[in-house]
Amino acid sequence: MHNPLLEQFVHVYKKYFGDFADFVIDVGTRDGEDAEFLRSSLNAKHVIAIDANPLAIEETTLRYPEFTIIESAISNYDGTTKFVQIISDKEDEAGSSSIENFSFFEGATYNTIEVPVKKMSTIIENLGLQQNIIDVIKVDIEGYTHEFLEGLGSYINNVKIFHLETETFYRHFQHKTNNHIINFMTNAGFLLSNVQYQWGEGIQDQIWINPRYITAYGEGS
């Protein structure tokens, strides 16, 4: 798979943290391909793939049964929520399924279903990872990155590097844009390493590093 966005992310990880990872978490995994790219590129031992869309879970399970696969939306509370499922032969359209959706793709089918929703802190605790260092978290959940970060809580300090999809426009009611994410991550002590615009100026992908874990490698190594 040739994905310049993730290739740059892997480059940044290796620059600061080396060639190996224990835990990779892909939130909004779609079909598991990005998670597999990160696993193979970083020689990761454990992959946790999360998605709210039952169709995405089915596809990821079929392709990568060795992953730990969790069917849930991720936000800042535990419970259930309405979810707009987009059914399309085009993976980018299907991947736009979200808790709220304002996109329209001609020829796609839209189903509103109820799905579980969990805080990321709840998932970490359910998996018994409270004391583990999480090497990589990639988040692509269509406008709910800030809610993900709120729900991660103090476990944010256990993460070496984040790849966060953010938006420069307001995608839904109470949506927090890219600048809100920058404020949140800066206040949490993270360093913004890189921004990219794979999908145009409206979508800003941010790479954040945790300076607490820069030891043997580090900038310039």
| Nearest partner of 208 among 75, 36, 13, judged by Cα | 13
Query: Does the structure show a pLDDT above 70 at 221?
Result: no
Pairing of strands 109-119, 46-51: unpaired
pLDDT recorded at residue 218: 52
pTM score, two decimals? 0.92
* Mean pLDDT over the full length of the chain: 91
pLDDT one-digit tens code per residue, 159-207: 999 999 999 877 777 889 999 999 999 999 999 999 998 777 889 999 9
36-77 residue pLDDT tens: 999 999 999 999 999 999 999 999 999 999 999 999 999 999
- Token pair listed for 158: 């256990």
Is the distance from CB of 16 to CB of 214 less than 8 angstroms?
yes
